[in-house]
A and B are shown apart, each in its own frame.
Chain A
Amino acid sequence: MKKFKFMLTLILLVSGWGAWAQETFPRNDVKDIRTGQYAFTNATIVVDPQTTLQNATLLIKGDKIEQVGANLSVPKGYVTIDLKGKFIYPSLIDMFTNYGLPDVERPTSSPYGGKEQTQSKTKGAYNANEAIKAHYNAADEFTINSKTAEELRKSGFGSVLTTKYDGLARGTSAFVTLSEKNDNTALLRQKAAAQYSFAKGTSSQTYPVSLMGFIAVLRQTHFDAEWFGSQTPRPFADNSLEAWIQNQRLPQVFDAGSWINVLRADKLGDEFGTQYIIKGGGDEYQRINEVKASNAILIEPVNFPDAYDVEDPLDAQNVTLEEMKHWELAPANLAALEKNGINFSITTSGLKKTSDFLPNVRKAIANGLTETTALKALTTTPAQLLKIDNQVGSLKKGMLANFIITSGKLFDDKTIIHQNWVQGESYNIKPLNARDFSGTYNLSINGKSYNLEVTGEAGSHKAKVKINDTTVDAIATFDNDLVTLSFRPEKDSKGSIRLSGWSEGNGWKGKGQLIDGSWVSWTGERTGDAIAQATNKTNNEGAKEELGKVIYPFNGHGYPSLPVTETILIKNATVWTNESEGVLQNTDVLLKDGKIAKIGKNLSDASAKVVDGTGKHLTAGIIDEHSHIGAASVNDVATNSGMVRMGDVLDSEAINIYRALAGGVVAVQVLHGSANPIGGQSAMIKLRWGESPENLKIQGADGFIKFALGENVKRSSNPNSIRFPQTRMGVEQVYVDAFTNAREYEKKWNAYNSLSAKAKPLALKPRRDLADETMLEIVNRKRFITCHSYVQSEINMLMKVAERFDFRVNTFTHILEGYKVADKMFEHGAAGSTFADWWNYKWEVRYAIPYNAAIMQRAGIVTAINSDDAEMGRRLNQEAAKSVKYAGMSEEDALKMVTLNPAKMLHLDGQMGSIKPGKSADVVLWNDHPLSVYAKPLKTIGGKVYFDVEKDKKQNNKALDTERARLIQKMKGAKKSGSPTQHGDGRIQVQFHCDDIMGLETEE
């Protein structure tokens, strides 16, 4: 078999040479060079998406277009192909494929739990990070893949950009045609674009493991390359950086894969002044305004999800509203992009079968995409983006003879592609000149008459024979010259009449065999047109229906519109001010313009919405000092991960944001995990449900960073770990080293910055090191530490290290043995943010006690209760109440531990944490005493009302059920009409704790 294939390939290659042999290749025959001159006449020629010529002619010679025009005469020496009634289009371009490149095998074993790989394993003088493969060139590995080429050509493609899907920096992609002649002619441009992604591919190096680490590595590599490139001679060889620098002049393509990653990639590009062309996810309609504002140019898939199988209501529970809505709205994504003026091209990437491509583009058109934009997105747009529009994408003189011949308008449902010409060579798909035999015929066989009806399109006819009142299907093949036909003359016949013949006038003549084997002559005479068939309308039926609304965020608890700022007057409530006024009975609070406007008795405001607070309690909104909700990942693994930023990976769609709001939480510190002595930078967010990731951030908030001590940092749960440090002794050295280096780093830059204007260009600019920069911010008191900590020895140690470098540890978080060193913490000036009653789940928390918060608080330490847990994070008021139970703390002090005190720790107490005029309107209205187990938030207000228990119950839940029910019925309809279906996979979002590397480990 293998040998056979080999032979076949050889034959193909040899026949290819016949036409235009490569100059330098050896010959094994007499010279056989033909010019390949063709004239395509009488066609409707779509020169480019804007220009269509009727009754026009296309002349090609060799692999190039010679002329296109309406009134061209065909010169002598051309093969003329009459295309009356046919269309010619420039062939399509897919700018996101790995055509002709080897598949990438990702490491299957999990890198976690084993021995860490701290260095790159790439042999040779390449980048220090294995995932930076900027030196790779797809052109070096590209070779024709006939099977894929054929699939793509059948869908109308003539050329593609091809990329190896491996690495954060994937090197360059090549631009190739789908010719099967030979690799040398198919490869049009070696380095067509530079490629990047959010996936580390085959790299087995441990760092980075997380999305925020991927971003950090790309960011650092950018600065490394800048520094490296500024030096001649180079300080050392780095083939990857060298290539990275070279690749900057190319179009920059980023594989993002979802709207949220599109925004992340675009933001990263903005930092370097690079506008990436970004591969999206087909879900951009979910945040169309933000995507539009990014100005990103997109590459969009058309891999619309199959309907879910929802027959069994129990199985249907496994399908989320998000999945159902995406099923309905995905085909309308491209129309939304077009409507918003977003430039995009379309790719086959992500399709299960390439043959789904054209039907899906047509589905997008049925959902509002214009045909012109669709064609642009498949021809001129990719060509222009890749700066190869002088060769492909339209039909103009001198350009490549890359075009398709179709039976009609390309995006009509019935249109078929007859031929796909690549570089002047024809690849037949469906016969061009298939004769239309549809009609009714009188078959005369051995003196007997039968009525034959031929239906369907030329090239794919079906036939039926009518005998008296019954109709039987006939097996028939129609060739322009020959015909084969067999059918059972009667229903209960033991066999068939078998006929073979040739066309004659409007019908046929021929020989045949009856059931008994006797030979007869037969004729078929055309008697009339076929009866018009009812066309299959199922495809378009769905499109006419009104589509569901986009909701923000795009999940079961999203709303069709965002909350607005209201003036709200809460009357006659018990108000916990957290100020010297204490708890005020029967008091009114006015919220206006997102601020607390007034507190007092008998307040009024004509414009205010009045809320009766009788019997209810109003407190400041809860603030969680230690949270991991609203982040796409939590831990990276470099010992010093100070360059990693949680703000890069915020996830506005995380359901736990809404659940926390329902528990009275208005703001959280999104912390990096505790896998490393120096973790990543925090993001300070307000829980603005429905807003985009960027809009969650608290503008102007101080920068914080996660540090961690103890068992997680020394990788106690991984017996194979070799990563430094393995002991608390080593942990101290990590810090001393980091801060010492930070000072050295500062000196280097100070020296450089103090050079004269003349001297500067001659001097070597120091390398920007994002980890060192972060450390320097800390020692210069511009960034503040929240340190995960448990046992007293290490708490004491970090305070001593900080004092040695003349700064203070802002907060010890978890701090379960804070009670043992409370006096030292107070003296140092550190705050303590702890669990209420967690203990004993690992050795370092054996001596944690539920009295810890009270002892610290009584020692004068600013003390908070935190969650580190999405579940507990929505009951922090209850966790605070435990200090009342165990240690008799006053109720006001207890409530401050989840409101004002965390605000102080996060340097946000100027705007949040208490009910005081001028502060942000961040308040919670409770139905009961806020420290009671029976208390429920009725409203959680963070400037605007982000949670309202009535709205949640009556509108949100009901709307959710109604929308689910509507979509379930619609999916059942889709299944009935034959659309493929898939089973719900019971997808749930990952809940993060600070130990988690990829959401697989649990516990703190």
Chain B
Amino acid sequence: MKKLNYILVLVLIVSHWAIAQKPVPAPPQTKPIALTGGTAHIGNGQIIENALITFDKGKLTNVVDGTTAKIDLSGYEVINATGKQIYPGFILPNSQVGLEEVSAIRAMNDTEEEGDMNPNVRSLISYNADSEYPPTFRFNGVLLAESTPLGGTISGSSSLMEMEGWNWEDAVHSADIGIHINWPLMMKRQFSFATFSFTESPNKEYDNQVSNLEHFFKDAVAYGNQSNKEANLKMEAMQGLFDGTKTLFIHVNKPKEVITSIRTAQRNGVKHITLISGEAALTVADFLKENKIPVILPSTHNLPDRVDDDVDMAYKLPYLLSQAGVMVSLSQDGSLHGARNLGFFAGTAAAYGMSKEDALKTITSNTAKALGVDKRVGTLEVGKDATLFVSEGDALDYRTNVLLHAFISGKHITLPGNQEELYERYSKKYGQK
């Protein structure tokens, strides 16, 4: 019966693929493109009205004020963006894109490897370029996403992926940008039937778990200093943390553990640290500011952690943290389908204290910095990737986030996907169009 079910699922998947209208990946940019007349949101806080933006061979060549700049656009494909808004592609950090498909079906998920310390496990290998998610992401402006493994204490290495490509090699933007660790917790959470609520009790293993983790780091440092060594894939994978080529992403949402985890990493020579946390970051904001640790927050579309918290705590958390001097970016937690709302998470941050341009940073330049990829993406600046889009209006608000054009490394991508095809099909069936 179980086998039969499995076959049934397979058959369904295959038959689905036969009818799906997934957009064909676009060819590389062959000709310089100019966007004229639009309002450019650079991603660093700046706005250029009536902007002239040009890009060639996938890289931005001009981002200037079109009223004054004189650039000869002959030979360019010119797109008139007058009255429209231009943004750098939104970047989704800490996601399971390409690894998670239908989360309820085990066979369709490739998120968690066996074992506790897996720095050598690489997400891009499992990355499914034919996933149904990317078309829905980029439809709303999310053009880049970090594909991140889950599980264990050291989950593995993540890569930044472009939301376009024939296969993972084609889609990868930056391979193995960092290693994700889940810091142990002093208190364990469990459900109590007696009080019908979640409660916490001390984790007796905490000290052991922390010392094991520190040991792993120390061994990795020592390994790097050995001249004659027996190859060790796990130790090898850790080296980038010490030479600054990889970022250490620490997942932890308790204030005391935040401090311990960052101190431990620093003590062992980790050069770039990014914290993935929530309300706990606010409690230790001074520490994060002093240590210049960027923070990736969950979606603003969340409930407060505690009953006594302000009702709008999740909404204003990005503002409160940035006011405290901490660099903040936003992610999606929970099921992957919600990540297409990344722009609206930032919009909510803007509704609760941040300026719109600062809110934009939380899904563009700040994220690029937190992921260590800011040399190439995150802002509309000359020399960076031509990964950007043109929206009908404010891309952080629902009614105006309507994309007209999107480019990934200069490739002019197709926006409608399978969902738009179904919309067409049934609208026609009922004579609605």
Contact = CB atoms under 8 A, between A and B. Distances in A.
A761 interface: no
B230 interface: no
Interface string A299-343: 000000000000000100110111000000000000000000000
A997 to B, nearest CB: 11
Contacts of A998: 191, 193
A824 to B, nearest CB: 11
B138 to A, nearest CB: 14
Interface stretch (A225-233, A774-782, A986-994): A986-994
A181 interface: no
B426 interface: yes
A36 interface: no
A658 B307 CA distance: 10
Contacts of A842: 102-105
A719 B6 CA distance: 12
A655 B307 contact: yes
A210 B381 CA distance: 58
Interface string B174-206: 000000000000010101010111111110000
Given A556-B307, A719-B2, A878-B344, A1003 B335 contact: yes
B110 interface: no
A632 interface: yes
A279 interface: no
A872 to B, nearest CB: 7
Given A851-B423, A986-B200, A933 B398 contact: yes
Interface in B243-298: 255-256, 283
A988 B190 CA distance: 11
A886 B427 CA distance: 13
B399 A952 contact: no
Interface stretch (A390-398, A613-621, A832-840, A909-917): A832-840
17 contacts: A320-B306, A320-B307, A321-B307, A321-B308, A632-B196, A711-B104, A716-B104, A823-B430, A837-B341, A839-B337, A846-B132, A870-B303, A932-B399, A987-B199, A988-B197, A990-B198, A1000-B191
Interface string B306-335: 111111100000000000000000000001
A853 B338 CA distance: 17
Contact of B132 (A838, A840, A843, A957): A840
B422 A851 contact: yes
Interface stretch (B31-39, B151-159, B214-222, B346-354): B346-354
A791 to B, nearest CB: 11
Given A839-B419, A989-B307, 19 more contacts: A314-B255, A320-B306, A557-B308, A839-B337, A840-B102, A840-B103, A842-B105, A851-B422, A851-B423, A855-B423, A855-B427, A881-B399, A885-B402, A891-B399, A952-B311, A983-B202, A991-B303, A998-B191, A999-B191
A272 interface: no
Q: Which 10 A-B pairs have the closest CB atoms?
A: A556-B308, A933-B347, A842-B104, A881-B398, A986-B200, A851-B423, A985-B199, A849-B419, A934-B351, A662-B311
B307 to A, nearest CB: 5
A165 interface: no
A858 B422 CA distance: 15
B87 interface: no
B207 interface: no
Interface string A929-971: 0011111100000000000000010000100100010000000
B78 interface: no
A662 B305 CA distance: 16
Contacts of B104: 711, 716-717, 841-843, 1003
A624 B312 CA distance: 20
A931 B432 contact: no
Given A843-B9, A988-B198, A314 B256 contact: yes
Interface string A601-639: 000000000000000000000000000000011000000
Nearest to A983: B202
Contact of A317 (B9, B283, B426): B283
Interface in A644-672: 655-656, 658-659, 662
A989 B197 contact: yes
Interface of A: 314, 317-318, 320-322, 555-557, 632-633, 655-656, 658-659, 662, 711, 716-717, 719, 819-820, 822-823, 837-843, 846-847, 849-851, 855, 858-859, 870-872, 875, 878, 881-882, 884-887, 891, 931-936, 952, 957, 960, 964, 983, 985-991, 998-1000, 1003
A168 to B, nearest CB: 15
B16 to A, nearest CB: 7
Contacts of A838: 335, 337-338
A837 B398 contact: no
Contacts of B430: 822-823, 855, 858-859
Given A823-B430, A998-B193, A987 B347 contact: no
Given A322-B307, A841-B337, A846-B16, A932 B105 contact: no
A840 B101 contact: yes
B301 A875 contact: yes
A334 B423 CA distance: 64
Contacts of B426: 819-820, 822, 851, 855
Interface of B: 2, 9, 12, 16, 101-105, 132-133, 187, 189, 191, 193, 195-202, 255-256, 283, 301-312, 335-338, 340-341, 344, 347-348, 350-352, 396-402, 419-420, 422-423, 426-427, 429-430, 432
B2 to A, nearest CB: 7
Contacts of B352: 936
A859 B432 contact: yes
A893 to B, nearest CB: 13
A986 B197 CA distance: 10
B399 A840 contact: no
Given A843-B9, A859-B430, A934-B350, A986 B187 contact: yes
A990 B398 contact: no
Contacts of A881: 398-399
B191 A656 contact: no
Given A841-B335, A935-B351, A990 B197 contact: yes
Contacts of A633: 196
Nearest to A318: B200
Contacts of A656: 303
Given A314-B256, A658-B311, A931 B351 contact: no
Contacts of A891: 399
A846 B102 contact: yes
Nearest to B398: A881
Contact of A884 (B102, B191, B399): B399
Given A320-B306, A659-B303, A859-B432, A885 B399 contact: yes
A871 B309 CA distance: 14
Nearest to B430: A859
Given A843-B105, A887-B423, A999-B196, A855 B398 contact: no
Contact of A933 (B2, B306, B348): B348
A655 B429 CA distance: 45
Nearest to B202: A983
Contacts of A317: 283, 306
A819 B421 CA distance: 13
Nearest to A936: B351
Nearest to A314: B255
Nearest to A257: B194
Contacts of B195: 987
A884 B400 CA distance: 9
Contacts of B102: 840-843, 846
B427 A885 contact: no
Contacts of B307: 320-322, 555-557, 655, 988-989
Nearest to B103: A841
Given A849-B419, A851-B423, A960 B308 contact: yes
Contacts of A851: 419-420, 422-423, 426-427
A931 B341 CA distance: 15
Contacts of B133: 840
A869 to B, nearest CB: 9
